[in-house]
C-alpha cells in the first residue's frame, strides 16, 4: 500500500424485489420445480421465463417432478455470490424431466468420482442463502 491510498471496506444491503420469479424462488426453496411452458412453441423452461427466449410467447407456470440427469459438472472451491466463506462446490447442469433446456445448480452429498449421467432430484434447502437462486440444489436419486 502506498502513502496515497487508503483501504475502505464497504458493505451495501438493500431489499431487492424478486418480481415474476417470486413463485419460482419459493418453490425452489421447498425442493419443487416450477417451470414455464411457452403457449406459442410449447417449450418448457426451467428456470421459468415470463416470455419465451425463442419466440417471445407467453409462458405459463407448470410444475415438473424435480427429477433430471446431470449433463455436465464442475468441481471447485469457491465463494458463492453474497456469501462469506469459500467451500467445495459441485456445480451441475441438469436436463430436467419435462423441460426442454438444462438447469444450472449445485450437487448435494455427492461422493462419486463423476456426476455426469447421474439421476438427480431437486431438494429443499435449509438455512440462509446468499441469493434465492442458490436453492437450486440437487441430490443423487437412490436406485432401488
Ligand atoms: Zn416459445
pLDDT at 2: 62
Could you state, in chain order, the average pLDDT of each consecutive group of 10 residues for the chain (144 residues)? 84 85 94 98 96 97 97 93 90 97 91 88 90 94 74
d(CA 64, CA 131): 22
Q: What is the DSSP letter of 20?
A: G
C-alpha cell at 108: 448435494
CA proximity to 75, closest of 121, 111, 128: 111
Q: What's the pLDDT at 128?
A: 83
C-alpha 20 – ligand 1 centre gap (Å):
18
Cβ contacts of 111 within 8 Å, gap of 6 or more: none
Distance (angstroms) between ligand 1 centre and the Cα of 59 equals 8
| Cα of 45 from ligand 1 centre, angstroms | 9
pLDDT at residue number 11: 86
Distance 58 CA to ligand 1 centre (A): 8
Tell me the chain's radius of gyration from C-alpha atoms. Answer: 18
Cα 4 → chain centroid: 43
Residues whose CB is less than 8 angstroms from the CB of residue 29 and which lie 6 or more positions away in sequence, other chains included: 124, 125, 132, 135
CB-based burial label for 12 (10 Å; 0-12, 13-18, 19+): exposed
Ligand 1 center from residue 22 Cα (angstroms)? 22
pTM: 0.85
Around ion ligand 1, residues with a beta carbon closer than 5 Å are 38, 40-41, 52, 54-55, 57
Partners of 33 in beta bridges: 64
Output the CA 118–ligand 1 centroid distance in Å: 29
Cα 41 to middle of ligand 1, angstroms:
4
CA dihedral sign of residues 98, 100, 103, 107: positive
Amino acid at each position: 500500500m502506498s502513502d496515497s491510498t487508503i483501504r475502505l471496506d464497504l458493505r451495501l444491503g438493500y431489499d431487492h424485489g424478486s418480481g415474476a420469479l417470486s413463485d419460482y424462488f419459493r418453490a425452489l426453496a421447498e425442493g419443487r420445480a416450477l417451470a414455464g411452458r411457452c403457449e406459442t412453441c410449447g417449450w418448457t423452461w426451467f428456470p421459468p421465463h415470463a416470455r419465451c427466449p425463442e419466440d417471445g410467447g407467453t409462458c405459463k407456470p407448470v410444475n415438473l417432478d424435480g427429477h433430471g440427469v446431470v449433463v455436465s459438472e464442475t468441481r471447485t472451491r469457491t465463494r458463492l455470490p453474497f456469501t462469506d466463506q469459500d467451500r467445495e462446490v459441485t456445480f451441475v447442469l441438469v436436463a430436467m424431466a419435462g423441460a426442454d433446456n438444462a438447469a444450472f445448480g449445485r450437487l448435494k452429498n455427492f461422493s462419486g468420482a463423476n456426476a455426469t449421467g447421474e439421476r438427480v432430484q431437486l431438494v429443499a434447502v435449509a438455512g440462509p442463502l446468499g441469493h434465492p437462486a442458490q436453492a437450486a440444489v440437487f441430490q443423487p436419486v437412490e436406485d432401488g
